[in-house]
Structure 1
Amino acid sequence: MTETVPTARKDSTARRVVKYGVALIAVGLLAVTIWSQRESFAESLRRLGWRDLVLAAAAAAAALAASGLSWRASMIAVAPHHKLPLRESARVFFLSQIGKYVPGSVFPMLMQIELTRRHGISRTANAAGMLVAMLVGLVTSGLVGVGALTLVNREAVQTYWFVLIVLPIGVILLKPTILARFVTLLAKLLRRDVRLDPPEARHLLIAATWSLTSWLLFGLQAWIIAKDIASGGDVTYLQATGAFALAWLVGFLVVISPAGVGAREGVLVVAFSGSLTTAEGLAFAVVSRLVLTAVDGLAALLGAALRPHHPAGDDA
């Protein structure tokens, strides 16, 4: 027992070194590409207007709020007797967004566990809720990305064909009875004792509806930025929405790169081909990331400003 823990820590450290090593390489290659096309890249940025940047940030903020409502519906699906108030849900979700920028992938879950503990939501229910929210996000992003780009840019779908395999698997896993079994099996593999009852289909439908809404709003953010950067000005909302959703999905699936660094930028360049040059595609990827990071930061500040609700009998 005493030898297992250090070994596990060494393995975890090794994985983290590899993961962030890949990220550094990806960022380095991206920087080299931008530098090689620096004049075109700078010209693309000069086309952006402050008014449109504010509008893009507003669309991203609305999309984040919709994502939070999807997460809340997913939590209700697995823990219907511990329904979080809307204000408290916003506080927990917005604060946990900063976890995306902290090394390691468990920080958002740890924050949510701590912040929801006072409401009687167990650690296993939290994990199950996050898993459901993740599956809903994967399926809806795939539907939006593949559906939109099939109509305007099939090359991107053909390039990232493996998404077509993941998508139906995700749809199958969202069937309530199969979802309950999947979570239970996954928990056993992780040596956790979890018995998840099949969630009500209506809660999953609500979660999926809010998730679809978030992708449409993220697409609006993408279109506002892309149409300014495009020298030809022929970027459509459908293309921007599909490109953003597919890029997020591929970035999520490429688990070796934190936050999809490098992978998402590559998808965006391919998905915008014919409408944006390579330099313009890279400029869009950089600006969009900056806008979303700023929105996440403001959301975290808002979450910190919301005073926690103390249930009756809680002395904290």
Structure 2
Amino acid sequence: MRRFVRIAFLVVALGFGGWFVARQWDDVRAGFALLSWQSLALSLVAVVAALCGGMMTWRALLADLGSPLPFRPAAKVFFVGQLGKYIPGSLWPVLAQMEMGRELGVPRSRSAAAFFLTLPVQLGSGLVISGVTLLAALPGSAAPYAWVFLLIPVLAVVFEPRVINAILGFGLRKLKREPLERPLTRKGMLTAIGWAFLGWTAYGLHLAAIIRDFGPSGVSVAVFSIGAFALSWCLGIMTFVVPAGAGVREVAMVAVLAPVLSQGQAIAVALCSRIVIIVGDLVCAGTAGLAARRDVDPTHDQTTGKPV
């Protein structure tokens, strides 16, 4: 039954991912026609690096909470679980990660805590890096979104481990769950934030590889792209009901790119970015799943991957 549920989850997630591509296929094809294969390849490589940065952010938080996982099993849990973001509803990824993590000895409450902590870490670091890079690349481009940056002081307070541990403890008590055995530390939080910043940088390079074919002038494309992608992602993640921020992120990206691209070009860039990210999700999930298959080999330990 567990295997059947897992296969059904993957089929549904992949189905919604394919639907997102198919419903906008004409626009996607037109946008891709303007891009070189070199740009698309560079963009995909950067996306895979960015997704790995997100995985390492989550892995650092999970390890600090008391469940360190080797890279390969962690990648499988994270990337396969993340396919759930394409299914309508916001809880599918965390439910998938809780179930797969439990098979590796990770308590469900700890998996849930790491998942929900990853979001504010990515949101806070995304707002910080977008504000800095947009100001450096094109002063004034972030002005229309000044209200979003008011969240930074609030998230800075949340980043304090004592505050986080108190919030987690309160939530677990309300849910009548056992408290976390190991509180979050400042070192673990700083490690997670560092990986998040690296992830945003890679996402920016992914966007820059696409934008450069449209030839914007008068702006540092790489620096501007980091801020543009991070800001549009942060705006998209605030709409929890929409699968993977679909639509909202693209609308925000078109608006953020307005100072350097025409509306038609910005739409093409946003759509191409979305498709490359979907492909990156599938590549990471497929690669992680195949690489972790030897973990189920009876001659290997399931948590370390080493011969028994």
> TM over 0.5, yes or no?
yes
Aligned mate of 2:51, from 48, 55, 64 = 64
Query: Which letter does structure 2 place at the counterpart of 1:148?
Result: T
Q: Which of residues 94, 97, 101 in structure 2 aligns to 1:109? A: 94
Q: 1:120 to 1:45 in 2, by over 3 A?
A: closer
* Residue 134 of structure 2 is aligned to residue 142 of structure 1: no
Deviates more, 1:63-72 or 1:110-119: 110-119
What's the counterpart of residue 284 of structure 2?
Answer: 299
Superposition pairs for residues 204-243 of structure 1, below 5 Å?
204-230=189-215, 236-243=221-228
Q: Distance in 1 between matches of 2:128 and 2:181?
A: 27
Q: Return closer, same or farther for 1:156/1:120 CA change in 2, 3 Å cut-off.
A: same
C-alpha change, 1:154 and 1:192, in structure 2 (3 Å) is farther
Q: 2:34 aligns with which of 28, 47, 54?
A: 47
**Cα distance change of structure 1 residues 96 and 42 upon mapping to structure 2, 3 Å threshold:** closer
- 1:170 is aligned to 155
| Structure 1: distance between partners of 2:100 and 2:193 | 24
Q: Is the 8 A contact 2:69 2:303 kept in 1?
A: no
Q: 1:254 to 1:275 in 2, by over 3 A?
A: same
Q: Which residue of 2 aligns with 1:92?
A: 77
Describe the superposition over 1:126-158 as per-residue Cα deviations: whole angstroms up to 9, x where unpaired: 111112211211111111111111223454422
- Aligned pair partner of 1:132 in 117, 132, 139: 117
Decide which of 245, 249, 271 is 2:230's aligned counterpart: 245
**Matched-pair contact (CA < 8 Å) for 1:247–1:265:** yes
- The superposition leaves residues 22-45 of structure 1 with CA deviations (integer Å, 9 ceiling, x where unpaired) of xxxxx9xx97xx99xx8xx98764
Structure 1, 191-200 or 167-176: larger mean CA deviation = 191-200
CA distance in 2, matches of 1:58, 1:98: 19
Q: Following the alignment from structure 2 to structure 1, what is the Cα–Cα distance between the partners of residues 147 and 218?
A: 31
Q: After superposition, give the CA deviation of every residue in 1:33-65 in whole Å (9 maximum; x if it has no partner).
A: x99xx8xx9876433101110111011111111
Quote the Cα distance in structure 1 between the aligned partners of 2:140 and 2:243.
26
Name 2:4's counterpart in structure 1.
Answer: none
Q: Please state how far the C-alpha of 1:69 moved relative to its aligned partner.
A: 1.0
Is contact 1:222–1:240 with CA below 8 Å preserved after alignment? Answer: yes
Percent identity, aligned pairs only, is: 28
Contact 1:70 1:208 in 2 (8 A): yes
Q: Specify the alignment match of 1:21 in structure 2.
A: none
Shift of the alpha carbon at 1:234? 5.3
Q: Which runs of 5+ in 1 are unaligned?
A: 1-26
- Alignment-derived partner of residue 122 in structure 1: 107
With 224-233 and 159-168 compared, the bigger mean Cα shift is at 224-233
The residue that corresponds to 1:201 in the other structure is 186
Tell me the alpha carbon deviations over residues 206-229 of structure 1, each in whole angstroms, 9 at most, x when there is no partner: 111111001000100000001113
Asked whether the 8 Å contact 1:44–1:279 carries over to 2, the reply is: no
- TM-score between both structures, scaled by the size of structure 1: 0.79
| TM-score, structure 2 as length reference | 0.81
The number of aligned residues is: 278
- In structure 1, distance between residues paired with 2:85 and 2:191: 24
Alpha-carbon separation, structure 1, partners of 2:30 and 2:215: 10
Amino acid at match of 2:233: W
Indicate how the Cα distance of structure 1 residues 155 and 187 shifts in structure 2: closer, same or farther if over 3 A, else same. Answer: farther
Q: Which residue of 1 aligns with 2:18?
A: none
Partner of residue 280 from structure 1, selected from 233, 255, 265: 265
2:60 to 49, 59, 73: 73
Q: Which residue of 2 aligns with 1:83?
A: 68
In structure 1, the residue matched to 2:6 is: none
Cα deviation for residue 187 of structure 1 reads: 3.5
Q: Which runs of 5+ in 2 are unaligned?
A: 1-20, 296-300
Q: Would the aligned equivalents of 1:251 and 1:263 in 2 still touch at CA under 8 Å?
A: yes
